[in-house]
Structure 1
Amino acid sequence: MTRRTDTGRRRFLGGLIAAGVIPRPTWADAGSPAYLAAGGRPDGSYLLCGIGADLSVRFELPLPARGHAAAAHPSRPQAVAFARRPGTFALVIDCASGRILSTLASPEGRHFYGHGAYSQAGDLLYTTENDFTTGTGRIGVWDVTAGYVRVGEIASGGIGPHDIRRLPGSDTLVVANGGIDTHPDSGRAKLNIPTMAPNLTYIEAERIVEQAALPKALHKNSIRHLAVGPQGEVALGMQWQGEEPVDALVGLHRRGSEITLFDAPAEAVDRMQGYIGSVACSADGATIAVTSPRGGMVQFYDTATMALTRSEALEDVCGIAPAAQGFTVTTGTGTLRCLRDTAGARASAALMWDNHLVAL
């Protein structure tokens, strides 16, 4: 179900088409959403939704299975909806018409990890993948202008690449290699915890140009999700695979330096239950916000002091993205909420929101 524009706009577009001038659709044609999120209904059906800055649902498009995250084209109203890992398909959807433009299938011996990123011009799509025959990470390369045809793949620089982002104003990619080996025959089982080695990998022109790793004592801290600040700083959320307590689950990286971990009291780290579900950076880069659905908690960190500043409890919270003021979050219980310093606007929907909220 999509919500269409008014009659005057349709007449205007019709006049352009009659004159032989066909405008390229933009996100305004899909209701000008501020976010994308996957969700599920109580009847077991699944959807990709566009959400406005006012927390209204601008469109609802059906998905054949549970989604994880989406990648939004930088200018056209197109989104790639990825299946929950270890998925082998992704759908390219025209969010203005609701039409499925293409179905991406991972090559034999690969599975997707649920995330992707477009190039700056939107002519290429990059997908995080697992080569489960060798246990190594790959980045699939798809030609958007040719109809999302796969044209190659490159090394991710590690094992288990999960999230991938593009640095602002460039085609430099940063990949979260979580370090965990998986295989479809084993479902979501983690096969190499004793030897895992997560890292951040930067890729330019399909070449690895920089890598950053955690201290050896934290090699079981799987780097899973990323957010990129306005100056290209990379915030990382981690998921602890060890049995003993961990000191930090959130970090920050600036190119040319080591990964720096944010400071928080031990009890605050414990509340996250070893699991960061999503991470977001404020528009000015001053605040990093992270969620834990297991802990039912949102935490806020100051990038100047590298310290925890605030926590807020919210049941089954996971999706998070920056808002004009504060951050917008989604929960598995159906809540959409804008979290601010003093109060929060709240809305509910008859949807159980999945892992991620993608800002447009």
Structure 2
Amino acid sequence: MASRRGFLAGLMATGLTPRVSWADAGAPAYLAAAQLPGGAYNLFGLTDTGAEVFRLPLPDRGHAAAAHPSRPEAVAFARRPGTFAVVLDCASGRIHATLEAPAGRHFYGHGAFSPGGDILFTPENDFENARGVIGMWDALDGYARIGEFDSGGVGPHDTLLIPGTDVLAVANGGIETHPASGRAKLNIPMMQPNLSYVTIGGELLETVDLPHDYRRNSLRHLSVRDDGLVAFAMQWQGDAADSPPLAGLHRRGGEMRFASADPEGHRRMQGYAGSVSFSDSGDRFAITSPRGGLVQVFSADDAQLVETVESEDVCGVNAGADGFVFTAGTGLISSPGAELSRHAVAWDNHLVRIPSPVRG
């Protein structure tokens, strides 16, 4: 990698700047943040079997990342209620840009690019006004802030672009927070989570509220299939004795379908789904629970439970060659029934996939 970076630097010095792609960063399959044994934080590029391609330092704990659709740039976000995000050039190892949330805002740890990668969208908390916004950053102009629009709810934790469209799906968790109160949740009795669909120009197309009995189920994370089907993961803020579904499916214009497991499985999850992903084929989707050390896999056809996987402190999940790949705080990277690799790090919450056409 070092010689490749030197070669690229030489070309740039002569004014001959090539079109740099993810192949120039070692063609990683995934991005994941982790804490090193000494306490420092890095963003890793990983192969499809979990081998390290690169590691780049982060200023503090990371949560998730957004991969540029063509350039080898990763935007690593601070964990809520952090206000920083760094744009890393994964080919050279340099920091390309640093994003600071505007005054009165904080990030939620996630972001998504427009179809061509010209604009980065970031879910944010307008904490003085208790409303969710989606920030807009110009990726062609050093990631300058160029605007924002309403997310369609409160606490927009995650957002993803629906493939082949200019529409963002937004998981509005419904929870009001304020940096002065740390990570405290300020409105649990009145929270109103929803899933919204908004164009990249800011037009709110559809808002889908959870049923009344599930109003304390905070929508947190999303996965989107190529045909626009959305899988969502939730975190229960109600009575611990209750066992509501922690996952579901939705397609624009339709009704939410909720995925339920057996009572013991719900108890093991402890009301907390940490991440969600469709399988590589799209016929299944999975949610993880680091609290329960458990993965639940459901059919995408009828949202019925089809498999459970045991893995201590598991949280990250994404599509893989054998259906799924999981990361855990123990350093393990695995697929259903198989250990892929193990690292001397504590993987953080999410595993972000870089689409294969981009990597090549």
Asked if structure 2 preserves the Cα contact closer than 8 Å seen for 1:239 and 1:249, the reply is yes
Pairing 1:268–2:262 present:
no
**Partner Cα distance (2:323, 2:216) in 1:** 31
| Runs of 4 or more above 2 Å deviation | 3-7, 13-18
Instruction: Return the offset for 1:170.
Output: 1.8
Of 60, 67, 71, the residue aligned with 1:72 is 67
CA distance in 2, matches of 1:250, 1:79: 28
- CA distance in 2 between counterparts of 1:26 and 1:177 reads 33
Change (3 A) 1:95 1:217: same
1:176 and 2:171 equivalent?
yes
- Which of 18, 21, 26 is 1:31 aligned to? 26
Matched pairs, number: 352
Q: State the Cα distance separating 1:300 from its structure 2 match.
A: 0.4
Structure-2 residue corresponding to 1:218? 214
Structure with more relative contact order (C-alpha pairs < 8 Å, separation 6 or more): 2
1:100-249 maps to which residues of 2 (within 5 A)? Answer: 100-204=95-199, 205-243=201-239, 244-249=241-246
| Contact persistence 1:279–1:291 (CA under 8 A) | yes
1:273-316 deviations in Å (ceiling 9; x for gaps): 10000000013321001100011101100011320011111110
Q: Would you say 1:60 and 2:55 are equivalent positions?
A: yes
SS in structure 1 of the partner of residue 37 of structure 2: coil
Match of 2:94 in 1: 99
Deviation, 1:16, is 10
**Distance across 1 between alignment mates of 2:19 and 2:335:** 32
Kindly provide the amino acid, as one letter, of the partner of residue 88 in structure 1: T
The answer to whether the Cα contact below 8 Å between 2:218 and 2:236 also exists between their aligned partners in 1 is yes
1:147-175 Cα offsets, whole Å, 9 max, x none, are 10000000011010001100011221010
User: Deviation at 1:10?
Assistant: 4.2
Q: Distance in 1 between matches of 2:242 and 2:103?
A: 39
SS at match of 1:115: coil
Partner residue of 2:308? 311
Could you tell me whether the CA contact under 8 Å between 1:197 and 1:220 is conserved in 2? yes
Instruction: Please say if residues 331 and 353 of structure 1, whose CA atoms lie closer than 8 Å, have aligned partners that are also in contact.
Output: yes
Aligned-residue offset at 1:77: 0.3
Contact 1:213–1:259, Cα closer than 8 Å, also in 2: no
Q: Is the CA contact (8 Å cut-off) linking 1:229 and 1:283 kept in structure 2?
A: no
> Which amino acid in 2 is paired with 1:348?
R
Give the conservation status (yes or no) of the 8 Å contact 1:298–1:313.
yes
Q: Distance in 1 between matches of 2:138 and 2:11?
A: 32
CA shift, 1:24, in A, is: 1.3
Paired residues of 1:81 and 1:90 also in contact (CA < 8 A): yes
Give the structure 1 partner of residue 286 of structure 2.
289
Residues 240-259 of structure 1 mapped to structure 2, 5 A cutoff: 240-243=236-239, 244-259=241-256
* Paired amino acid for 1:356: H
Query: Contact conserved, 2:44 with 2:53, CA < 8 A, in 1?
Result: yes
AA at the equivalent of 2:63: H
- Give me the CA root mean square deviation: 1.8
Separation in structure 1 between the aligned mates of residue 110 and residue 4 of structure 2, nearest angstrom: 34
C-alpha change, 1:252 and 1:24, in structure 2 (3 Å) is same
Q: List gaps (5 residues or longer) in structure 1.
A: none
Aligned to 1:322: 319
Distance, in Å, in 2 between the alignment partners of 1:97 and 1:71 is 18
CA 1:6–1:123 in structure 2 vs 1: closer, same or farther (change >3 Å)?
Answer: closer
Write the distance in 2 (CA, Å) between the matches of 1:176 and 1:268.
Answer: 24
Q: Which amino acid aligns with 2:320?
A: A
SS of aligned partner of 1:185 = helix
Which residue pairs with 1:87 in the alignment? 82
Give the TM-score, by structure 1 length: 0.94
In 1, Cα distance between the equivalents of 2:124 and 2:298?
30
Same amino acid, percent of matched pairs = 53
- Report how far residue 17 of structure 1 moved: 8.4
Q: Is the 8 A contact 1:230 1:284 kept in 2?
A: no
Partner amino acid, structure 1, of 2:343: A
Q: TM-score, normalised by structure 2?
A: 0.94
- Spell out, residue by residue over 1:86-141, the C-alpha distance to the aligned partner (whole angstroms, 9 max, x if none): 00110011011111011100111111111000001000000010011011101000
Gaps spanning 5+ residues in structure 2: where?
Answer: 355-360
Counterpart of 1:81, as a letter, is: A
Cα deviation, residue 21, structure 1 = 4.9
Paired with 1:134 and 1:14, the residues of 2 have a C-alpha distance of 50
**Which residue type is aligned with residue 81 of structure 2?**
P
Aligned amino acid, residue 255 of structure 2? E
SS at match of 1:284: coil
Tell me the distance in 1 between the aligned counterparts of 2:20 and 2:234.
37
Cα separation, 1, equivalents of 2:309 and 2:325: 13
Bigger shift: 120-129 or 163-172? 163-172
